[in-house]
Every structure is written in structure tokens, then in C-alpha cells.
Amino acid sequence: MPVFKTPFNGYSVKFSPFYENQLAVATAQNFGILGNGRVHILQLTPNGPISELAAFDTADGVYDVCWSEAHDSLVIAASGDGSVKLYDLSLPPTNNPIRSFKEHTREVHSVDYNTVRKDSFLSASWDDTVKLWTVDRNASVRTFKEHAYCVYSAAWNPRHADIFASASGDCTTRIWDVREPGSTMILPAHDFEILACDWNKYDDCIIATASVDKSIKVWDVRNYRVPIAVLNGHGYAVRKVRFSPHRASAMVSCSYDMTVCMWDYMVEDALIGRYDHHTEFAVGVDMSVLVEGLLASTGWDELVYVWQHGMDPRAP
């Protein structure tokens, strides 16, 4: 399975929604504490190595990336200096970034593009806020400020263009409707910090949360008093969780225990796959929308792996 070595520590990896052989990677120097960052655009070659299509250097670490759902060459990056940067792959590196939004007062930890309306994106920051942006405006459309601590993740609902969820270090996940003045639901989902959340791609009322408490919980927002599933199996904090675009009850997670896990929350033995190919914290994971079962991960070992579920990521 192909592997790519990055100069800095990997933080996030995302498959292109347009091209099955392209992915974007966010990296940060010195474990994101101090130093530069780089956004890599990688290309998979049939039965061959991963090649680099483009790279964009930043003055601060990059913690997350997402692809535009409207323009196949547009990538958005979340930066440690509080900025959100837009890169256009059709332009040379010297012409990039094409835009840099600087409103957050602390690190931007997550960015997510609206897959329904395809005209806007969210940024989640350690300044305790989530901001809503459109590509063509120089200022944010709105700021959502209710969380009492860092917001680590914000995720659009895959069916409703105005609804998103946010996961925070204040131990809550909040559901928002951009048409409403405040959050519409507060889930006291864990007793420890919540690092990530994601919506089910087949049921718009199902959401997963991942926490420092080592667990992933699956919730039905129609009745959120108790989770519909609690997934235990990671040995340390769960950094990311992503629902499968192809199987309704499947999801993938990565953790500070250096593993990537595949789950089916509808079965009793929910842990259906564990991959221990990383040698440092595994902090980025994604599943391809275009190729069923294709996974990518990155971590602090400065490696990006791409593999088919069921295969060994380290196999040549």
C-alpha cells in the first residue's frame, strides 16, 4: 500500500470529492507547538508511489484541510495563527493563498465545507467559537459563540444545508441551525473533552462524538438522553471519527494510541478492524467518497498511508 513521507507532523488528511486519486494533507512542524506548516496535495498512481502535485508553505502549523464541494481545485486550510487560508491548485504556489481570513484570535483546529448548498464552510477554533464563511466574502457571515472552551471540530449535516454540530473541550456537542440565534440542542456527551464529531451519511439524526475518555458515542438527536452505542477499544484519547460514505453503520477513528479503528456500531462486537501502522499519535483519518473502502491516515510519525480496508497499510 502506498506511503508518503511529509517533512512535518501530519495533522489531517482528506480525499478529494472530485478525483479519486487526489488527497490533501495538513502538516505542522514540531508537533504543532512552534514553527511552520505545509499543505500537501497528493496524487495516487495505479500500483505505484504517491506523488506530490503541489505544496503550500505556511508561517504557522496547519491543523486541518477540506476540499471545496463546488470547485475541484480549491482547498481550505485551518492555521495555527488563527487564519483560514484558501488555496487554488490551478494557480502556481506564488499566487497562493488566494485568500486569507484572519478573524479567529487563537488556533483554527477544524474546517468543514457544506456538502448540500456547496457555497459555505465552517471553521472551529480554540477561541471557543465557530465561524461561518463563504468563499466570495472577505469577512465571516456569522460567529457562533456559546462553548465555554476550545471548539475542536465543526461538521455540517449531510442532508440539511443549515444544520451543523460542534464538539468542544467543554464536554458538550452542540447542534446549530444557522437560521436560529443560538444552538438548538446541547448534548452533554462525555465527562471529558470532546475532540471530534461527525454525522451519519444515511441518517441525518445520527451523530458520533469522540473524546479524551477513549470512547466514541453514537447519538440519535431525536432522543439524546442516552447514546445508542458506546464504542470502547482505543487506549487513549480518540482524535477523529468519520462515518462511512458507503455503509450506514460503519465508521473509522484514529487515536493517540497510534491506531486507526474501523467500527460497525449496529453489531455487538462493534470493533471490526484495527490498524497499528503508525508509530506516533494517529491524528488524521478519512474515507474516500469515490472509492468504497479506501482509507487514508496521517500522524505525528510524518507519514501518510492510503490503503483498502482489510489490507495491511504497510504491505508493499
Inter-residue contact 84 to 100 (CB < 8 Å): yes
What's the chain's Rg over C-alpha atoms? 18
Cis peptide before 97 (omega within 30 of 0): yes
Give me the tens of pLDDT residue by residue for the chain, a chain 316 residues long.
789 999 999 999 999 999 999 999 999 998 777 899 999 999 999 888 999 999 999 999 999 999 999 999 999 999 999 999 999 999 999 999 999 999 999 999 999 999 999 999 999 999 999 999 999 999 999 999 999 999 999 999 999 999 999 999 999 999 999 999 999 999 999 999 999 999 999 999 999 999 999 999 999 999 999 999 999 999 999 999 999 999 999 999 999 999 999 999 999 999 999 999 999 999 999 999 999 999 999 999 999 999 999 999 998 8
Distance CA 226, CA 221 (A): 10
- DSSP class of residue 256 equals T
Q: Which residues of 230-250 are buried (b: 16+ CB within 10 A; e: fewer)?
A: ebebbeebbbbbbbbbebebb
- Residue 300: CB atoms within 10 A of its CB come to 22
Q: What's the whole-model pTM score? A: 0.97
Q: What is the pLDDT of residue 307?
A: 96
Inter-residue contact 166 to 188 (CB < 8 Å): no
Inter-residue contact 183 to 144 (CB < 8 Å): yes
Q: What is the pLDDT of residue 46?
A: 85
Q: What is the pLDDT of residue 161?
A: 97
Q: What is the pLDDT of residue 120?
A: 98
